[in-house]
Amino acid sequence: MTDVKDILSLAMLKMEKNFIAHNEKGYPKQPYKDFSLYDCFGFVEREMKELDASVKHHMFGGRTNTDRLVAIRNEIADVSNCLDYLYEKVLRAEQILVVDEQR
């Protein structure tokens, strides 16, 4: 398995984290299909809280080190993935409504 601290691009980090979540943790491949709009928004909120805590720990937790910055990058990737799921959920709901309105 790839060490996520060695991944330099956000896109690749997100892909690796999704791979780990699905294959090792049993999370669904397409969360926007399995969870409600409210759930997807909740995922964003949860991950934003984790990002906020990670940044605060970095800023106020004493000496800066690489591990703290890697943790922040990981939380950014989690937030971004959850925003992707939320966006996809909203887009799919919108498409359903457009089809219904056209009837």
Q: What is the pTM of this model?
A: 0.88
pLDDT tens-digit map of 51-76: 999 999 888 876 678 888 999 999 99
Selection from 95, 101, 92 nearest residue 32 by Cα: 92
Domain residue ranges in the chain: 4-102
Distance between CA 83 and CA 64 in Å, rounded? 28
Please, what's the largest Cα pairwise distance for the chain?
61
CATH number of this structure's domain 4-102, picked from the four choices 1.10.150, 1.10.287, 3.40.1130, 1.10.3470: 1.10.287
Q: What is the dihedral of CA 9, 29, 34, 8, to 10 degrees?
A: -10
**Residues 6+ positions from 28 with CB-CB distance below 8 Å:** 22, 34, 35
| Residue 100 pLDDT level (bands cut at 50, 70, 90) | confident
